[in-house]
């Protein structure tokens, strides 16, 4: 499997890297959150721009980005508008979604952009092509807050993201039982060992799925999400606890 290098972070090698979300509503809150991350073990920061009060004003989004990049002090930045249909804070039409993401990647200020893989093949390919033209890597994503699909369906979704050109396919699913968590983990192993030629990210959400956020090194997920203040999804572990647990597992499986 190939790795993906983002600044000084390599995804797909060794211990899963830790991504922490920013969910501030104002520019001041966003920058303050970013500055606080310097005290923690954070590998990647995700700006969940759907929380931002002025998200539909592209000039204001780019204004925040300029200060955010400085505040992060070389920590790689993932730009994400999570739509309401996939668990985000706001609804957005497809045209505006594409315009926002393409405008942001054209600035070169971000290192990664999240593209919801089932927005429509042509739209997704267009955003991915624009991102790659600007040297920006793409996380192709899908979030199912209702259920855990079958392992075959999970694998199919991840393979589609790979086929569309995403550099890092990602899926998050909601477990209704402990067996659902095993379904997600089995799909992760099969995808990573049989089909993936690039890093993948998988997780089972909520308290039932917490184990999936810790065992990526064993099952094949390259990135895990932790929280410093407010979690952006159910089941996220506090970042320093997450760091210690990942280190402990790594020590005992190598």
Set 17, 137, 143, 151: catalytic member: 143
- Using DSSP's 3-state secondary structure scheme, residue 41 falls into coil
User: What's the token pair of residue 40?
Assistant: 């923690």
Secondary element (H or E) of residue 178: helix 178-190
3-class SS shares of the chain: helix, strand, coil, % to 5:
45, 20, 30
State yes or no: 51 annotated in a binding site. Answer: no
Whether residue 53 is annotated as binding a ligand: the answer is no
The answer to the question of whether 47 is labelled as a binding residue is yes
Establish whether 236 is an annotated binding residue: yes
User: Cα–Cα–Cα angle for 161, 21, 17, nearest 5°?
Assistant: 65
Q: Which letter does DSSP use for residue 236 in this model?
A: P
Evaluate whether 167 touches 189 at the Cβ level (below 8 Å). no
143 is a catalytic site residue: yes
Instruction: Say if residue 95 carries a ligand binding annotation.
Output: no
Catalytic site residues?
143, 170
Where is the binding site, in residues? 46-48, 82, 213, 232, 236
Where is the binding site for 3-dehydroquinate, in residues? 46-48, 82, 213, 232, 236
């Amino acid at each position: 499997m190939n790795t993906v290098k983002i600044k000084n972070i390599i995804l797909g090698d060794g211990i899963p890297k830790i991504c922490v979300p920013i969910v501030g509503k104002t520019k001041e809150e966003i920058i303050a959150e970013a500055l606080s991350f310097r005290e923690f073990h954070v590998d990647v920061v995700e700006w969940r721009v759907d929380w931002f009060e002025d998200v539909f004003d592209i000039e204001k989004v780019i204004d925040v980005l300029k200060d955010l990049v400085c505040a992060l002090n070389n920590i790689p930045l993932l730009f994400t508008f999570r739509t309401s249909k996939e668990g985000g804070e706001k609804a957005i039409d497809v045209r505006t979604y594409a315009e926002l993401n393409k405008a942001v990647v054209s600035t070169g200020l971000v290192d990664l952009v999240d593209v919801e893989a089932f927005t429509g093949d042509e739209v997704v390919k267009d955003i991915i092509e624009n991102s790659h033209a600007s040297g920006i890597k793409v996380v192709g994503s899908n979030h199912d807050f209702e259920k855990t699909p079958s392992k075959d369906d999970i694998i199919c979704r991840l393979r589609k993201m790979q086929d569309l050109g995403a550099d890092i396919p990602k899926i998050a699913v909601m477990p209704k039982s402990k067996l659902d968590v095993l379904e997600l983990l089995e799909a992760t192993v099969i995808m990573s060992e049989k089909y993936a030629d690039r890093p993948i990210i998988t997780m089972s959400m909520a308290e039932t799925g917490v184990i999936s956020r810790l065992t990526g090194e064993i099952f094949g997920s390259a990135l895990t999400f932790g929280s410093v203040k407010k979690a952006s999804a159910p089941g996220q572990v506090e970042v320093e606890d997450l760091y210690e647990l990942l280190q402990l597992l790594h020590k005992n499986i190598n």
